[in-house]
């Protein structure tokens, strides 16, 4: 407890949390991002082009740009066509899946 704690201080603290604590505090929620395109630069990815599912009247003709930093921080699941997966990833997919409890923050992503 702190007498000088303000909403601004709390908000500043929550912004600095990494992904796991944000989920435990219900600060992150799962959303859907439509097709992504990568912009590769110097052997890594710098930004992603995101197709806006609301139509082409938002963003740049229906597309938004996401930095790789934002992608790494806030994207938790992706759907990838199997033809693009490495053989070792395909091998893992043949194993028995780990079922997370409904109250697990990562288990709630699919809800």
Residue ranges covered by each domain of the chain: 1-30, 32-85
- Average pLDDT for runs of 10 along the chain of length 111: 59 58 55 60 72 80 82 78 91 90 66 51
- Answering whether pTM is above 0.75, one says no
Region of residue 17 (phi > 0: left; psi between -120 and 50: alpha; otherwise: beta): beta
Do the beta carbons of residue 8 and residue 89 sit within 8 Å? no
């Amino acid at each position: 407890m702190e007498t000088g704690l303000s909403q601004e201080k709390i908000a500043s603290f929550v912004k600095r949390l990494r992904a796991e604590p944000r989920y435990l505090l219900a600060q992150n929620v799962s959303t859907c991002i439509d097709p992504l395109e990568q912009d590769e630069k110097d052997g890594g990815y710098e930004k992603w082009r995101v197709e806006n599912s609301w139509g082409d009247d938002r963003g740049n003709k229906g597309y938004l740009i996401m930095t790789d930093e934002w992608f790494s921080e806030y994207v938790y699941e992706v759907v990838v066509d199997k033809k693009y997966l490495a053989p070792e990833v395909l091998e893992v997919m043949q194993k028995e899946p780990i079922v997370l409890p409904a109250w697990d923050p990562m288990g709630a992503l699919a809800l």
